[in-house]
Structure 1
């Protein structure tokens, strides 16, 4: 029993120490002790004890000139090791299955390739019927929710080639191409709302909702998309599914190392 209580105290001690490390992670630069304590919601004397240990283990360092604290060399090495191990497909796998179970719709994970958004993982839903998008499929850039998310978060020079290819393909089929004004309006809406939604674009009977997944540098790493029958994804369902998609995308983003505004 004593061993169990002691083990619990040690775990709690680690958790408290991580409150200090989270403050250093979110800081714009080295901070004085009192500022770290204020942001962590802890007494300065207690924070100082943790910082002494972190400095000793190179998780933190103290500036010799002003005494301020920042993240140390081992913290940097730890972060780089985590980055090397990142795999968005593996990290998003559980989210795809969970979303599919909750919505009965097909869920897709796409990354940006040379020709545009490419589907790299999927979970087939009960409501997709005969309509299914295969792995490796290159999605249209300007007429799908997935494509609009990429347009909203990637620099223009990365998307120009894919857009040109889509325009040429649409012209060969005499298909309507959205105007620059329509694209700009759609992209602006994605940036404002944090997600994209389309109806009847990839298939006239289906609607899509897509949300961005960010990596450790807060750059777009992938896009998570739900595709289901338009009638099923009614206004009430739309709100529910948007919330599910945004929550799932944020969860994967956090696992990818994206910075969040969560407090220590």
Structure 2
């Protein structure tokens, strides 16, 4: 019986400690023992014991003036290691491989740099696609599905700075004006993904969705591309959902959360 009780007690302590750390937010960066105990529905002795353990690891620090606790420097060091271990490319690679395998199309990861989208990872699909796209390729942001996906996710001030003309036509279907692009971005926000149908290269279609970091900023975009004969209008909604889901999974692994989970949970 003791062998069963000990793991349960250990797991419960971990869950409680995690809930305590999650209670420290931008809106409430400082907690005293009594208020934190009430917030988490725990007794003061338990909260004090866990805070003491977290303080020993420098995950929280006590302010002598207020006798309150705030997040500590140990979390900065831990977060730095997590960030290095979870670079966009490293996190995205298995997701891109799964996307390409599920669809037989070519999956890419691209970043915005100097008004252009740069391919930083590519997983070729089963079928031949564009011969001009490979790791290191650069294309105008307005002519790609990934570029439009990122633009649609930018805050207004940054978007305005990124919309500087001229718009060079790569095909007769390339977006040619700011007004046309803005209309397109509205549709992208509603759908959650962007489509570039022969806008970059004739006979080639790509669908892209933004990858967001922990702060909700677009740091990259995922794309799935193929020939016009395979990426048909009927198939685009399915492809769009897959790409959006893949980008969402990568974003989640990078720390993005659409809604913060409540720390007011049952812990007993």
Q: Same fold (TM over 0.5)?
A: yes
> Which one of 238, 241, 257 corresponds to residue 239 of structure 2?
241
Query: Which stretch of structure 1 is more off in the superposition, 21-30 or 107-116?
Result: 21-30
Q: C-alpha distance in 2, partners of 1:227/1:234?
A: 11
Tell me if the contact between 1:139 and 1:146 (Cα under 8 Å) persists in the aligned partners: no
How many matched pairs?
257
Q: C-alpha distance in 1, partners of 2:244/2:232?
A: 18
**1:76: which partner in 2?**
76
Q: 1:53-103, CA deviations, whole angstroms, 9 ceiling, x for partnerless residues?
A: 212322113444544432112112222333344421111100000111122
Q: 1:192-226, CA deviations, whole angstroms, 9 ceiling, x for partnerless residues?
A: 44332232323444432211112244332211111
**2:55: which partner in 1?**
55
1:22, distance to aligned residue in structure 2 (A):
2.4
Return 5+ residue gaps in structure 1 as ranges.
none
Q: Cα RMSD over matched residues? A: 3.4
Aligned runs of 1:222-261 on 2, under 5 Å?
222-230=220-228, 232-233=230-231, 237-261=235-259
Return 5+ residue gaps in structure 2 as ranges.
264-268
Q: C-alpha distance in 1, partners of 2:72/2:86?
A: 22
Q: C-alpha distance in 1, partners of 2:210/2:173?
A: 28
* Relative contact order higher in (CA < 8 Å, ≥ 6 apart): 2
Q: 1:140-198, CA deviations, whole angstroms, 9 ceiling, x for partnerless residues?
A: 3212211112323452476367x54xx3x539x88865222111112233344433223
Tell me if the contact between 2:196 and 2:207 (Cα under 8 Å) persists in the aligned partners: yes
1:123, distance to aligned residue in structure 2 (A):
1.0
Aligned runs of 1:10-89 on 2, under 5 Å?
10-24=10-24, 28-33=28-33, 36=36, 42-45=41-44, 46-89=46-89
**1:141: which partner in 2?**
141
Query: Structure 1-normalised TM-score?
Result: 0.78
**SS in structure 2 at match of 1:79:** helix
Aligned CA distance change for structure 1 residues 61 and 150 (closer, same or farther; 3 Å): same
Q: C-alpha distance in 1, partners of 2:246/2:29?
A: 31
Q: C-alpha distance in 2, partners of 1:39/1:191?
A: 36
**2:217: which partner in 1?**
219
**1:101: which partner in 2?**
101
**1:188: which partner in 2?**
186
Query: Which stretch of structure 1 is more off in the superposition, 253-262 or 52-61?
Result: 253-262
Query: Structure 2-normalised TM-score?
Result: 0.77
Name the structure where helix makes up a greater proportion of residues. 1
